[in-house]
């Protein structure tokens, strides 16, 4: 909201409060990031975060232009958040392959969720909905999970979870 107010060159009663909240959140993130860098045995955990920066900036820019609920903005935000998982895993000394596999699982689960919620909201408003896309995305997510389990990059316990989320 703070960036939106600034973009519009307006100041409301909420503007100073949103600035203070933004500053507080930024300080918490900076503190956590500093601790992660201090504790890290390698800098590899930064790679997924750096790859997510353009996606996060795109979502932030979309929100400041009141387009944060567009499909591309929602997908960019979800994919940017998936970068946290491999970074955390790499900080915990997981292999790059494990980190990539779990990031892929999270990404393939995020896409169908976003498509499903968007479809449900449209149905609630009485609009026409393409029901095939969310179902197809869920099937692809289950196939990706099965392949990761088959190649031993993911535990077998992932399969029932993905199937339950599909149903």
What pLDDT, on the 0 to 100 scale, is given for residue 117? 93
pLDDT score recorded for residue 14: 86
CA atoms of 20 and 28, how far apart (whole Å): 12
Q: Would you state the pLDDT for residue 54?
A: 94
Q: Tell me, what's the pLDDT at 64?
A: 83
Dig out the tokens for 47 from the structure: 């790679």
So what's the pLDDT on residue 1?
Answer: 72
Residues 102, 84 contacting (CB under 8 angstroms): no
Burial of 12 (0-12, 13-18, 19+ CB in 10 A): exposed
154 sits in the region (left: phi over 0; alpha: psi -120 to 50; else beta) called: beta
> What's the pLDDT at 135?
93
Taking alpha carbons only, the member of 106, 118, 83 closest to residue 162 is 106
Kindly give the confidence (pLDDT) of every residue in the chain, 167 residues in length, as a single tens digit, with 9 standing for 90 and above.
777 777 788 888 888 898 899 899 999 989 988 988 888 888 899 999 999 999 999 998 898 888 888 999 999 999 999 988 999 999 988 999 999 999 999 999 999 999 999 999 999 999 999 889 999 999 999 999 999 999 999 999 999 988 888 77
d(CA 115, CA 118): 5
* CA separation, residue 90 to residues 47, 72, 125, 159 (Å): 10, 28, 43, 23
What gap in Å lies between CA 30 and CA 120, rounded to an integer? 37
Dist CA 56 CA 38 (whole Å): 24
């Amino acid at each position: 909201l703070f960036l939106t107010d600034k973009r519009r060159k307006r100041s409301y009663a909420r503007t100073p409060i949103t600035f203070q909240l933004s500053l507080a959140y930024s300080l918490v993130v900076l503190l956590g990031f500093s601790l992660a860098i201090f504790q890290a045995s390698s800098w590899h955990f930064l790679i997924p975060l750096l790859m997510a920066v353009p996606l996060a900036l795109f979502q932030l820019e979309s929100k400041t232009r009141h387009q944060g609920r567009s499909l591309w903005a929602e997908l960019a935000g979800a994919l940017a958040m998936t970068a946290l998982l491999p970074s955390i895993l790499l900080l915990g000394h997981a292999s790059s392959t494990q980190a990539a596999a779990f990031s892929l699982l999270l990404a393939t689960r995020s896409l169908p969720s976003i498509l499903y919620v968007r479809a449900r909201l449209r149905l609630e408003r009485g609009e026409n909905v393409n029901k095939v896309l969310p179902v197809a995305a869920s099937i692809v997510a289950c196939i990706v999970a099965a392949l990761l389990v088959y190649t031993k990059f993911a535990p077998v316990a992932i399969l029932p979870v993905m199937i339950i989320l599909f149903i």
